[in-house]
Amino acid sequence: TQPERTLVLIKPDGVTRHLTGEVLRRIEAKGYTIVALEQRTVGTELLTEHYAEHQGKPFFAPLLEFMMSGPVVAAIAEGHGVIEGFRSLAGTTNPTSAAPGTIRGDLGRDWGTTVQQNLVHGSDSPESAEREIALWFPQG
């Protein structure tokens, strides 16, 4: 198999809680390579594209508001099976039920907000990864 690439985002809760290094450490400890890394604040336009599949859902507006509440760290991780592998490292969406040992399970919890503040994003398929990497790193 060819090595593949996935888009990883450390969301504003992760950056604000100073967990950027911890998340990157886990990616690297697993043996994946960080091939791009940038901290930035993002706007409605990019986020609406990024989360297009969730438009119309009740948590969509709070999700965008949350993602704009502070800086985000965007990274591209590379390795064999990294798309599935990072999703596995991240754990399931709801941090309360995410398994211990995962980023969300070890470090995340329910904060009583409308939207789940679950620290990280990872592309969920090769198609999503290609689309999201082009969106966040258009310069290639």
- Between residue 93 and residue 132, which ones bind Mg ion under the rule CB under 5 A? 124
Torsion of CA 15, 51, 41, 29, to 10 degrees: 40
Which residue from 13, 7, 67, 76 is spatially nearest to 41, judged by alpha carbons? 67
What Å distances lie between residue 49 and 43, 54, 115, CA to CA? 10, 10, 18
User: How far is the first Cα of the chain from the last one, in angstroms, to the nearest whole number?
Assistant: 22
118 known member of a binding site: yes
26 is in an annotated binding site: no
Torsion sign (Cα): 131, 30, 27, 116:
positive
Q: Does the annotation flag 59 for ligand binding?
A: yes
Minimum distance of Mg ion from residue 124's CB (angstroms): 5
User: Is 54 a catalytic site residue?
Assistant: no
Q: Is 104 annotated as a binding residue?
A: yes
Q: Which does 123 bind (CB under 5 to 8 A by kind): Mg ion, ligand DAT, none?
A: none
Q: How far is the CB of 106 from ligand DAT (least distance, A)?
A: 16
* Smallest separation (angstroms) from Mg ion to the CB of 135: 13
Q: Which of 50, 54, 80, 121 is catalytic?
A: 121
Binding site for ligand DAT (CB under 6 A): 54, 59, 63, 93, 115-116, 118, 121, 124
Distances (CA, A) of 107 to 23, 25, 53, 96: 10, 14, 26, 10
- In what helix (H) or strand (E) does residue 97 lie, and over which residues does it extend? none
Q: Which residues are catalytic?
A: 121
Q: Residues marked as binding? A: 11, 59, 87, 93, 104, 118
Give the binding site for Mg ion (CB under 5 A).
124
Q: Residues marked as binding for ATP? A: 11, 59, 87, 93, 104, 118
